[in-house]
Structure 1
Amino acid sequence: MHTSTFSAASGERRHDCRIPPARLATAAVCASLLCACADVRMPNYRQPDTPVKASWSGQATPVSASEAITPEWWKEFRDPYLDSLVTKAIQGNFDVKVLAARIRVAEAAIGEARAGALPTLNAGAGASFEKSTGQNFARQFNLNTQVNWDIDIWGKVEKGVQAQTAEYRASEADWRAAYLTLVSDVSTTYFQILQLDEQIDSQQQALDKAKQILAIYEAQYRNGLLPNTRVLQQRAEINRLTTDLLELRRARSLSDNALATLMGVPAGEFKVPSGHLQEKIELPDVPSGLPSELLKRRPDIVAAEYRVLEAYDLVGQAKLAQLPSVSLTASGGTSSLALSGLLKSFTFGLAPAINIPVLDPGVRARVKTSEAQSEVIEQQYRKTVMAAFEEVENTLVNLDAHKKQRAELEQQIEHLRVVAAQVEGQLKEGMVSQLDVFEAERSLLGTQLALLANHQQILSDTVTLYKALGGGWPPVEVSNARR
């Protein structure tokens, strides 16, 4: 420890060197030798390897995702009301707000990590008063300051800053992933509400037809043309249709509540106006993209890779902790029995120190823990990539199957319309009864409901595909570049 005392009254400076320079040089040589022994090497960061996928199923000519998906992809459905719902949800959803707050926390943590390389200054002032029996009243005043500086000569603090910067960017990607999920949920919930509205209308029509059939059955029963069991069966059918109608209305109310929560509105205080899905929502062209682009565009994959980068930096920081650390402590102060003499003399001290972790099991254990944690995070990244591939592939399979089913349902409806028209003509000629007409209309109505459900499935599949392909977010190159 090197101290220097200065007396303002005499102008003399006295020095006290407790550690000779030769010893400091010897310590520096020892530190250098230890540095050579510690394994602090880090390979250049590389994206974790994952199984390669060349193309998507059922796409002979892949299209760049940037050409197929726009940032406001939900506008491809050509429904201004959906656009307004998405806008309100982005502004009011609390999940998105929570993630936005986490971004601010991660950004503030960068400054906190960077502060570890800066010196700290503490200052204090005090006074003491003492009176003993038979002694004069004693008092003493003092001022003191102390500066501590852990010199980041190996870059340990900078590694921590880099790790926290990666976490900050991962938090941004988490927000984008939540944004995509939110827009997807708003769209599919809205489509479901419109589907339920159309199903409620169709179910009401079916119930009305069933009541008309019951009236005919009851008339035939009174005339002895039909057994009572047929009347009871029809009444049971009306009970079933009424139960289903009540269930559809219940589901509609729950969907309204779900959509309200997505927009940050208390459940029960929001209701979507009634509408028909097939009339309001157009089927857009199916977006597509190259598998390689998926890894750079999907926010959840980007977030996972940033956390791989963060783990990489934390391993580097743990390795650097094996090296000696250098710190400087400077202190200064003064004391006096009277305030008037407080500034007449000062004491300064400078204490450089080298801390050499010769035997610290915790340091080496921290390196192994960081390396093991890094491996876990890399595997989580690969898991995220594989799940993304599966999501896209499943959605493409669903879209292909539902579109083929749509073609079959449309043909079925055309056939049933011809049947219904012919049965209506036969009724006018007295060849069939009104019951036959009702049965034909009911069959047509059932197939139309199946086509409606198919329409909603294709819309939901399309929304899922937009989300799965990255939702129009620009590609991100996760590398060792720093802010």
Structure 2
Amino acid sequence: MQLQEDIVPKVSTESSWIVPRPRRAYAWVAAAACAGWLTGCADFRPPVYERPETPAKTEWSRQESITVSPAETVQPNWWQGFKDPYLDKLITQALSGNYDIKVLAARIRVAQAQIGEAKAGQLPVIDLNANANVTKTTGQATARSYNLGGQLSWDIDIWGKVEKGVQAQTAEFHATEADWRAGYLTLAANVSTAYFQILQFDEQIDQQTRTVQKNGQILNTYQAMFQNGLVPKIRVMQQQAEINRLTKDLIELRRSRDVTENALATLVGVPAGNLKVPPGKLQNRVQPPPVPAGLPSQLLARRPDIVAAEYRVLAAYNIVGQARLAQLPSISLTANGGMASFALNSLLKTFTLGIAPSITLPMLDPNIRARVKTTEAQVKVVESDYGRTVMNAFEEVETALVNVDAHKKQRIELQQQVDQLRVVSSQIEAQLKEGVVSQLEVFETERSLLSAQLSLLAVHQQILADTVTLYKALGGGWTDVRVSNATASTSSSQ
């Protein structure tokens, strides 16, 4: 019977509740078991970074378009290969005055500052405060109190959670550097293409003006023949309509040149209308240089947009690691100290100090665990974006090589056509002097020659544009970049 009394809970006569001591112990055991189970289910290890897999590519299909050994590389100042001092001047001006490139440079500075912000999470936070309180109650003496104190809070990064955040922000910093390089490359390509188009318009305008003049001479001949009854009125009207069409095209060419010149002014950082490109002939001033293509594997380490995409994959890996480490117990230390007195002259005579270490178990927080799943899912997004960037880069290089190859072959055929038409034109003029052919046949031959020359000019400009595109697609001469968490300088490359 005594044994039964020992196991019956004691009932307090001073309180209305029962104190079940064994059940409290069971609650603590259950809580510890639950925490242990959650800890066993959680993965605290930061993931090891590996470059995302992409379809393999070992060589370019249009090797005949490459006239320089793959061992050579594209130079960073590749536009100088066109040997046009005015183009060099425009690109230099654009790199210092273009606002898009300034925005990208400013983003580098923001990303660099954010590294310092991330590092600040490892440091203790100190708050200082001071106050004076004066209270006056009717019929009583004035009450005064003075306080001076401070508080130090320090979340100790024993697992490296903050360091993972620093690594993630450092990777984002390097990605913004690569964005700047990509913008630099795009700007140089756009300036080059716009400049070539302006020179093409100049040459087209010159040839179109001569075409209008020749057709005016043909119209005069038709009018004379009509007056003599040799051709019907409709032939004169057809020729006049042809002159109207050619004049309209000439106006359009001049409009296109002005619009392109305005666009070029914006690229170089000059208000539209303030830049005047001197007229020139594209085929005489600019010739396409040979381009070394390198190997597809080199593209992954040289092309800035690919490097930026890979750095963002690395940043996503580090954010996953940070989220996983955030599940581990965190230790924080809080220290309070201060002085208080009812008289200002005795404030420094008293001092209090308190230290309160604490530990938290974040793995019990469902928000923390959900954060891990979110960051892991985000990795798949940036890995897919990296793969898309690589595939687009392969396509751009292959397409540029195809275009360069095809347009060079077209230029050969057009050059032969122009040469043959020049011979025909000379023979027709000789026959005119002998009276064998009419002036109209001479005009028609010259018109055919001018049309072929315009086609030759267009394909020459296209080859130049294709060469610029190929330079850009190959990474524009930037050196190889190995993406990793290795400590690197955070000074921008601009």
What TM-score do the two structures reach when normalised by structure 2?
A: 0.90
What SS does structure 2 have at the residue aligned with 1:343? helix
Equivalent in 172, 178, 191 of residue 173 of structure 1: 178
What SS does structure 1 have at the residue aligned with 2:348? coil
Structure 2 counterparts to residues 307-456 of structure 1, below 5 A:
307-456=312-461
Calculate percent identity across the aligned residue pairs. Answer: 65
- Conservation of the 8 A alpha-carbon contact between 1:151 and 1:325: yes
- Conservation of the 8 A alpha-carbon contact between 2:68 and 2:290: no
Per-residue CA shift, 1:24-64, capped at 9, x if unaligned? xxx99998997565311234211111001010012168966
Whether 1:196 and 2:197 are equivalent positions in the alignment is no
Per the alignment, residue 14 of structure 2 pairs with: none
CA distance in 2, matches of 1:401, 1:85: 29
Equivalent in 40, 46, 68 of residue 42 of structure 1: 46
CA distance in 2, matches of 1:331, 1:203: 86
Report how far residue 238 of structure 1 moved. Answer: 0.7
CA distance in 2, matches of 1:187, 1:133: 85
Per the alignment, residue 4 of structure 1 pairs with: none
Per-residue CA shift, 1:3-34, capped at 9, x if unaligned? xxxxxxxxxxxxxxxxxxxxxxxx99998997
CA RMSD of aligned residues (A): 1.8
What SS does structure 2 have at the residue aligned with 1:342? helix
Per the alignment, residue 57 of structure 2 pairs with: 53
CA distance in 2, matches of 1:68, 1:417: 41
User: Measured at CA, do residues 413 and 385 of structure 1 come closer, stay the same or move farther in structure 2, by a change above 3 Å?
Assistant: same
Structure 2 counterparts to residues 63-462 of structure 1, below 5 A:
67-462=72-467
- Conservation of the 8 A alpha-carbon contact between 1:278 and 1:455: yes
Task: After superposing the two structures, state which structure 1 stretch, 211-220 or 60-69, moved more.
Answer: 60-69
Task: After superposing the two structures, state which structure 1 stretch, 134-143 or 162-171, moved more.
Answer: 134-143
Report how far residue 357 of structure 1 moved. Answer: 2.1
CA distance in 1, matches of 2:100, 2:69: 31
Structure 2: runs of 5+ lacking an equivalent: 1-30, 489-494
User: Measured at CA, do residues 209 and 325 of structure 1 come closer, stay the same or move farther in structure 2, by a change above 3 Å?
Assistant: same
Per-residue CA shift, 1:233-284, capped at 9, x if unaligned? 1110110010000000000000100000000111011110000000000121
Report the residue type matching 1:46 in the other structure: E
User: Measured at CA, do residues 143 and 28 of structure 1 come closer, stay the same or move farther in structure 2, by a change above 3 Å?
Assistant: farther
- Conservation of the 8 A alpha-carbon contact between 1:311 and 1:374: yes
Task: After superposing the two structures, state which structure 1 stretch, 441-450 or 52-61, moved more.
Answer: 52-61
CA distance in 2, matches of 1:187, 1:222: 52
Report how far residue 421 of structure 1 moved. Answer: 1.2
Report how far residue 112 of structure 1 moved. Answer: 0.3
- Conservation of the 8 A alpha-carbon contact between 1:65 and 1:472: no
- Conservation of the 8 A alpha-carbon contact between 2:149 and 2:338: yes
Report the residue type matching 2:63 in the other structure: Q
Report how far residue 224 of structure 1 moved. Answer: 1.3
CA distance in 2, matches of 1:453, 1:388: 26
Report the residue type matching 1:461 in the other structure: D
- Conservation of the 8 A alpha-carbon contact between 2:185 and 2:476: yes
- Conservation of the 8 A alpha-carbon contact between 1:180 and 1:467: yes
Report the residue type matching 1:126 in the other structure: N
- Conservation of the 8 A alpha-carbon contact between 1:55 and 1:62: no
Report the residue type matching 1:342 in the other structure: L
Per the alignment, residue 22 of structure 2 pairs with: none
Report how far residue 65 of structure 1 moved. Answer: 5.6
CA distance in 1, matches of 2:86, 2:374: 52
User: Measured at CA, do residues 31 and 161 of structure 1 come closer, stay the same or move farther in structure 2, by a change above 3 Å?
Assistant: farther
Report how far residue 85 of structure 1 moved. Answer: 0.5
What SS does structure 1 have at the residue aligned with 2:215? helix
CA distance in 1, matches of 2:157, 2:105: 32
- Conservation of the 8 A alpha-carbon contact between 2:418 and 2:452: yes
CA distance in 2, matches of 1:329, 1:31: 25
